[in-house]
A and B are shown apart, each in its own frame.
Chain A
């Protein structure tokens, strides 16, 4: 707060405001926390070095963290607050597709550049020139999971359990089903069941899935639901494998799921265990500062924010007029040909989506996410 006042008195032109539209409360608070911590780490580093240099002038960074409560409607109002009240130059977030799809529309309508670190649903950026992302897409992630399960488990049949009211979960479940069916023949996905994200009992859906006797169960769900689903499946006598997606990759997963999740696989953006180079430097610094290993969302927020800062520097100088600067930043973001991130090198296509590799990790007996395989497009 003190720093905000300081810059206000020192003249608004001296600072660059970037908004973060993240879930600090609600279903996935850890995702918001990690995004915020990654943002703070970057801001402190740059401000300590005197600020961000744009067109020969140093600017202090001011990050505004707005809570979207993990809700779609709150994500839109958070975006509008950041755009209209705070006059931010760009928005980082929201993370989950459930919030990023509607918030992307709000940002696009209001001509404010937005970059989602973690959203993988295609609709987030589709036909929205102002919206970008740092994560790969579900049409890429889905087939990665299909291929891996077929190879690893020798799977010929599968079952899917997804959250109907979650864009991410539903989109990925459908992509997975279609791809699995096309590779293994019609109706190889023997059970395709849904629930709504406030549900806590999945026994009826799981009974149906178990009765279909699939080779494995695909769970494109948030980490908090994953923990409940896997425990209940084990209670009902399921001994087979699960395959998960990037929403599993959270430092809270093992705390909630415990032994039940060990030995399972999921596709994600990076593997913390065994990371090298800049990725390792980031992980070590984050761990030292906040006391736990960052999940993919922290690393992706770091990359996404750095892409925004890079674009700001590429504009070659800010005019101080919000609308003009936003336009310049958007154009600079779209013009970045390739970006070396800690979650891999990214090239952006015309939709604003990066073309990058996915990794599959295994949850080890110690509860670490261990690199198993890397799949590149």
Chain B
């Protein structure tokens, strides 16, 4: 009994890591722009596909490199390329709307459409067949008593914590982070202070999308079957996690993601698995009813 509780706690840590990583992207963009970037789940999917193509290219080379070296190259390349996709979406879809002073609602709808374009673009380009993500690093299963964990799962949890620490540092301790918070506070006064608002927004998208790319890579390694719609559901759920944590707040996204992971896994551990989403989201709704701004959220003031 104790063994399965511990095992489930560990399962929840790993599953929550993905929600956390994606929720951080939602929260960053929302914190700066007050825009819910609904395309974020699909940027995550694009990240997984980019990782797939890079990894396959490296593995297909004539001379073979050790797995860790390939991984060390796949990670930054995936993050850079996914960031490019995120920035392009900002450039093509969101910036023109912002320039024209469109209401935030229209930008959110545009974001939804961008997500659909990414999904169906992928479907049209690469077909409906699933892609199987290659094994980059050999999987090692560690067994302690009845508790099983793999090197990959441990890596996922550590990555999520690392990303949170880095983001938290950037936002609270650096100048660019200060600028991000300033835009969040008053986006009309900030340019008057000589802060290049577009640069800061692009930087926000680079941060959010590159970590979505990392999440995509880690997800593809953990669940090695890719399809064009893989980002939709997990994206929504991560968005909910970010809201429950208090959207716009980095700590909120981090804890919200883990909270959702825990609730989902533990509901299955205790109740029949049929009730998974029903109970999980009933719990989250209750939290929101008690604290509508989310766990770390403060109504209406500066966020991030």
Contact = CB atoms under 8 A, between A and B. Distances in A.
Contacts of B162: none
Interface in A167-208: 193-196, 198, 200-201, 203-205, 207-208
A51 interface: no
A205 B230 CA distance: 20
B56 interface: no
Interface in B282-301: none
Contacts of A224: 130, 225, 227
Interface stretch (A25-33, A335-343, A346-354, A363-371): A25-33
B264 interface: yes
Given A208-B268, A252-B129, A231 B224 contact: yes
Given A194-B273, A224-B225, A204 B8 contact: yes
Interface string B22-34: 0000000000000
A210 B1 CA distance: 11
Q: Is the interface of B mostly helix, strand, loop or mixed?
A: helix
B269 A235 contact: no
B45 to A, nearest CB: 12
Contact of B129 (A29, A201, A205): A29
A205 B266 CA distance: 10
Range of interface residues on chain A? 20 to 34
B7 interface: yes
Contacts of A203: 8, 11, 14-15, 265
Contacts of A210: 4
A29 B225 contact: no
Nearest to A26: B128
A183 B246 CA distance: 53
A252 B266 CA distance: 33
Interface in A207-242: 207-208, 210-211, 224, 227-228, 231, 234-237
Given A193-B273, A237-B143, A255-B132, A207 B7 contact: yes
Interface in B113-135: 123, 127-130, 132, 135
Contacts of A237: 141, 143, 146, 148
A214 to B, nearest CB: 14
A205 B128 contact: no
A256 B274 contact: no
Interface string A315-336: 0000000000000000000000
Contacts of B7: 207, 236
Given A29-B127, A204-B11, A194 B224 contact: no
A227 B131 CA distance: 12
Contact of A200 (B1, B3, B129, B223): B223
Contacts of B143: 237
Interface in B3-61: 3-4, 7-8, 11-12, 14-15
Contacts of A29: 127-130
Given A204-B265, A228-B225, A235-B139, A24 B128 contact: yes
A40 to B, nearest CB: 17
Contacts of B165: none
A24 B234 CA distance: 24
A227 B264 CA distance: 22
Contacts, number: 91
B41 to A, nearest CB: 12
Nearest to B132: A256
B233 A198 contact: yes
Nearest to A258: B132
A123 B15 CA distance: 36
A16 B14 CA distance: 55
Nearest to B267: A204
A80 interface: no
A26 B151 CA distance: 32
A164 interface: yes
Contacts of B224: 227-228, 231, 256
Nearest to B134: A258
A193 B141 CA distance: 24
A315 B146 CA distance: 65
A35 to B, nearest CB: 13
Contacts of B174: none
B277 interface: yes
A175 to B, nearest CB: 18
A234 B273 contact: no
A201 B218 CA distance: 13
Nearest to B7: A207
A33 B129 CA distance: 10
Given A26-B128, A204-B268, 12 more contacts: A25-B128, A33-B129, A194-B274, A198-B233, A200-B225, A201-B15, A205-B268, A208-B273, A211-B1, A228-B223, A234-B141, A256-B225
The 5 closest A-B pairs by CB, nearest first: A29-B128, A204-B268, A237-B148, A203-B11, A25-B128
Interface of A: 24-27, 29-30, 33, 164, 193-196, 198, 200-201, 203-205, 207-208, 210-211, 224, 227-228, 231, 234-237, 252, 255-256, 258
29 contacts: A25-B128, A26-B128, A27-B227, A29-B130, A30-B129, A164-B274, A193-B268, A194-B274, A198-B233, A200-B225, A200-B230, A200-B234, A203-B11, A203-B15, A204-B11, A204-B12, A204-B268, A204-B269, A205-B268, A205-B273, A208-B4, A224-B130, A227-B224, A227-B225, A228-B223, A235-B139, A235-B150, A252-B129, A255-B132
